[in-house]
Chain A
Amino acid sequence: GAVVSQHPSRVICKSGTSVKIECRSLDFQATTMFWYRQFPKQSLMLMATSNEGSKATYEQGVEKDKFLINHASLTLSTLTVTSAHPEDSSFYICSARFTGFGGGESTDTQYFGPGTRLTVL
């Protein structure tokens, strides 16, 4: 259980174009999803928190007009990188927050997608 998918796994685009990345929780509903960015050999940097039916909350320094987040259903959040430039090239990872009961105990855990490698030429 608690499987999260991301699509696409890899995308190459030209500078100035927009790219949409989907994050889906496959076997549970997630009112909250998170979007991270990871640079090579580095840790995860939280970009924003996506809440179903409301506006995303962006971390300091993240341009909300550049990284558009939509969380229209309990199983889908999308990240759109608008007018992408080479400096936006990175590994983007989403996670979905699972709350409830698992293994006989309450839990509050993020489950991660496999990531999307974005390359902007």
Chain B
Amino acid sequence: AQSVTQPDIHITVSEGASLELRCNYSYGATPYLFWYVQSPGQGLQLLLKYFSGDTLVQGIKGFEAEFKRSQSSFNLRKPSVHWSDAAEYFCAVGAPGGGNKLTFGTGTQLKVEL
């Protein structure tokens, strides 16, 4: 069974600073990997996804993530954070051919200081 770990429960960064949110997964092969963002009281919005190919994937809102097989990681990055990026971020892993049933990490709450 797959699992996801997001080691950081809370992260605070200053507006304009760079951001990296960590995500580690456990799966026997290369999984499908996703990052979603959730604003308070809202559903989840897809930021980016990785299925195969180029290990650096670009997403919406200036986010990118890099799949590192050797580290079983899929960290999310943004070079310059905006105040509107404050939200909860979830990493998720899905099993290819498994009906895309997702396992979510516990989430990282991002706070942006002005």
Our pick among A49, A95, A111 for the contact of B99 (Cβ within 8 Å) is A49
Residues of B close to A97: CB separation below 8 A: 99-100
Among B11-19, B61-69, B79-87, B102-110, the stretch in contact with A: B102-110
CB contacts (< 8 Å) of B106 on chain A: these are: 42-43
Q: Are A112 and B32 in contact (CB under 8 A)?
A: no
- A residues 15-52 near B (Cβ < 8 Å) are 32, 34, 42-44, 46, 49
Would you mind naming 22 contact pairs between A and B with Cβ atoms under 8 Å apart? A32-B99, A42-B107, A43-B106, A43-B107, A44-B44, A44-B90, A49-B99, A49-B101, A93-B44, A95-B44, A97-B99, A97-B100, A108-B51, A108-B100, A109-B34, A110-B34, A112-B44, A112-B45, A112-B46, A113-B43, A114-B43, A115-B42
Q: How many residues of B contact A (CB 8 A)?
A: 22
Query: Which A residues fall within an 8 A CB radius of B?
Result: 4, 6, 32, 34, 42-44, 46, 49, 91, 93, 95, 97, 99, 105-115, 117
Interface residues of B (CB under 8 A from A): 32, 34, 36, 41-46, 49, 51, 90, 94, 96, 99-102, 104-107
